A and B are shown apart, each in its own frame.
Chain A
Amino acid sequence: MNGQEFFFTVDGRQVRAEPGQTIIAACDAAGIYIPRLCHHPDLKPAGHCKLCSCYIDGRRASACTMPAAPGMVVISDNEELNNDRRVVLNMLFVEGNHICATCEKSGDCELQALAYRLDIPSPSLPYQWQRYEIDASHPDVFIDRNTCVLCSRCIRASRDLDGKSVFGFAGRGLGMRLNIDAKAELDETTFSAIDKAAKICPVGCIVIKRTGYRTPVGLRRFDVTPIGSDIENKSGAKPK
Chain B
Amino acid sequence: MSEPSTVSRARKLEIDPVTRVEGHGKVTIRLDEAGKVQEARFHVVEFRGFERFIQGKLYWEVPVIVQRLCGICPVSHHLAAAKAMDAIAGVDAVTPTADKLRRLMHYGQLLQSNALHIFHLASPDLLFGFGAPAEKRNIVSVLETFPEIGKWAIFIRKYGQEVIKATGGKKIHPTSAVPGGVTQNLCVESRDALRRDIEQILSWCLLALDKLKQIVAEREAEHKDFAYFESNYLSLVGANGVMDLYDGTLRAIDSAGGVIFDGVEPCLYREQLIEEVRPWSFMKFPHIRSLGRDQGWYRVGPLAQLNCAASIDTPIAEAERRLFMNIGAGRPVHATLAYHYARLICLVHSAEKIQQLLFDDDLQGDDLILSGQRRGSGVSCIEAPRGTLIHHYEVDERDQVTRANLIVSTTSNNEALNRAVASVATTYLSGQEITEGLLNHIEVAIRAYDPCLSCATHALGQMPLIVTLEDAAGEVVDRKVKQ
Contacts and interface: CB of A to CB of B under 8 A. Distances in A.
Contacts of A218: 169
Interface stretch (B60-68, B231-239, B405-413, B414-422): B60-68
B440 interface: no
B394 to A, nearest CB: 15
A101 B61 CA distance: 11
A218 B171 CA distance: 13
A181 to B, nearest CB: 20
Contact of A216 (B65, B68, B169, B173): B169
Q: Name the prevailing secondary structure of the A interface residues.
A: loop
Interface string A164-175: 000000000000
A210 B371 CA distance: 10
Interface string A194-230: 0000000000000001101111111000000000000
A137 B65 CA distance: 21
B173 A101 contact: yes
A214 to B, nearest CB: 6
Contacts of B68: 101-102
Contact of B400 (A104, A134, A215): A134
A213 B65 contact: no
Given A142-B399, A216-B184, A210 B60 contact: yes
A102 B65 contact: yes
A136 B169 contact: no
Contacts of A102: 61, 64-65, 68
Contacts of B369: 214
Interface stretch (B174-182, B210-218, B305-313, B448-456): B174-182
Contacts of A217: 168-170, 174-176
A98 B183 CA distance: 24
Nearest to B396: A136
A217 B400 CA distance: 24
Nearest to B374: A210
Interface in A83-108: 101-102, 104
Interface in B35-73: 56, 58, 60-61, 63-65, 68
Nearest to B174: A217
Given A142-B399, A213-B175, A213-B183, A104 B169 contact: no
Nearest to B368: A214
Interface string A225-239: 000000000000000
Q: Which of A209, A215, A216 has the most CB of B within 10 A?
A: A216
Contacts of B184: 216
Contacts of B278: none
Nearest to A137: B398
A105 to B, nearest CB: 11
Contacts of A104: 60-61, 64
A217 B64 CA distance: 12
B183 A215 contact: yes
Q: Which of B169, B176, B369 has the most CB of A within 10 A?
A: B169
Interface residues of A, number: 16
Contacts of A215: 183
A101 B60 CA distance: 15
Contacts of B173: 101
A210 B65 CA distance: 15
B104 to A, nearest CB: 15
Nearest to B56: A134
Nearest to B182: A216
B367 to A, nearest CB: 15
Contacts of B178: 212-214
Nearest to B180: A210
Q: Which of B63, B175, B399 has the most CB of A within 10 A?
A: B175
A209 B398 CA distance: 10
Nearest to A218: B169
A213 B58 contact: no
Contacts of A101: 68, 173
A8 to B, nearest CB: 44
B64 A216 contact: no
A216 B170 CA distance: 10
B7 to A, nearest CB: 39
A104 B61 CA distance: 7
Nearest to B173: A101
A142 B398 CA distance: 9
Nearest to B184: A216
A136 B58 contact: yes
Contact of A213 (B56, B60, B398): B60
Interface string A123-152: 000000000001011000010000000000
Contacts of B174: 217
A108 to B, nearest CB: 12
A136 B175 contact: no
Nearest to A209: B399
22 contacts: A101-B68, A102-B65, A134-B56, A136-B58, A136-B398, A136-B400, A142-B399, A209-B399, A210-B179, A212-B58, A212-B61, A212-B178, A213-B64, A213-B183, A214-B178, A215-B183, A216-B175, A216-B184, A217-B168, A217-B170, A217-B175, A217-B176
Given A134-B400, A213-B175, A217-B174, 5 more contacts: A136-B400, A212-B61, A214-B178, A215-B183, A216-B184
Interface of A: 101-102, 104, 134, 136-137, 142, 209-210, 212-218
- The 7 A-B pairs at the shortest CB distance, nearest first, are namely A217-B169, A136-B398, A216-B184, A102-B65, A213-B175, A212-B60, A216-B183
